[in-house]
Amino acid sequence: MRNRYQGKDYLAFKDMTREEIEFITDLSLDFKKKWYAREPHEYFKGQVWAALFEKNSTRTRNAFERAAADLGIKVVYLRPDEMQMTRGEPLKDTARILDRYFDGLFIRTFGHEIVEECSAWMESPVINGLTALEHPTQGIADLMTIKEKKGDFKGLKICYSGNLYNVCYTTMIFCATLGMNLSIACPEGLEPDSEILAETKRRAAVSGAKIELTQDFDEALKDADIVYGMSQYSMGQSEEEIEYLKSAFKPYQITLEAMKKAKPDAIFMHCLPAHRGEEVTDEVMECTQSVIFDEGENRMHSIKGILAAVAK
């Protein structure tokens, strides 16, 4: 598909313009229409992409594989533990070799500098399937879901409860870019990444979005159009850290009572997997306001949109 994003990497919302975010969201919504109309869209037949996952995944990996299949792209799944990179081969060598074999790389890894290094050494596009800094394929699925359920972005309010890592950072950037207000309910002492915070402030000054961190959960929930739940901790944290975060986040659990403090037509979103009984109750996950499975389905349509935008 010829467009101005062709051949570009897809690494983080912090690097994307408002126009890029909106273009890929709308493209993903178009692919969803094609899916339901059973309209074939094997536009990239003959391409072969590598998928490298250094962390577990249910949604991202399977959404990517299905999206690629529908676009006619073959995927080779790479297990890091079977590659020389886990025996010390430099990433810059691995990246240049993969670049010779594949039309693109979809990667889930740890530090954001890893995807940036792949991008620096590869000519073919690199898509970030989650790093410590951002989860930009999740971000497009979330925007699709918000547009489907609420019609538009500007002026909406999101109440976010959960860890201050990648999903939170992507949400901060898209809210600041698109003019959505974001109230992050979290215990005292937690601070977002300084680069993300600075970029969020810069964008919010342009869009007029109000982005705040508050310890007052009721205030965060007040007038919220969307209540967004997220795990209180992250993959790979120590038992000690997890226990601390679980205890500190206890007052911010999303219950049916909490949902009543948001707008009556508020929706509940969660990127999943959820820890029922921790950041959210089972009742909220299953309630009529919950749109988590539409959001999860949108992971597939959104990855299709992202692939179609950047594939050469």
The contact set with ligand CP (CB under 6 A) reads 57-60, 130, 138, 271-273
The CA-atom distances, in angstroms, between 85 and each of 37, 91, 130, 266 are 43, 7, 19, 46
Q: Measured from the CB atom, is 118 or 269 closer to ligand CP?
A: 269
| Cβ 145 to ligand CP shortest distance, Å | 12
Burial class (CB in 10 A: 0-12, 13-18, 19+), 150: middle
| Cβ 135 to ligand CP shortest distance, Å | 6
| Cβ 128 to ligand CP shortest distance, Å | 11
Q: Measured from the CB atom, is 60 or 253 closer to ligand CP?
A: 60
Q: Measured from the CB atom, is 245 or 271 closer to ligand CP?
A: 271
| Cβ 37 to ligand CP shortest distance, Å | 26
| Cβ 44 to ligand CP shortest distance, Å | 22
Q: In sequence order, what are the beta bridge partners of 228?
A: 160, 269
167: left (phi over 0), alpha (psi -120 to 50) or beta: alpha
Cis before 273 (ω within 30): yes
Q: Measured from the CB atom, is 119 or 138 closer to ligand CP?
A: 138
The CA-atom distances, in angstroms, between 94 and each of 52, 88, 132, 134, 248 are 11, 10, 21, 23, 41
The secondary structure of residue 142, as a DSSP letter, is H
Q: Measured from the CB atom, is 115 or 209 closer to ligand CP?
A: 115
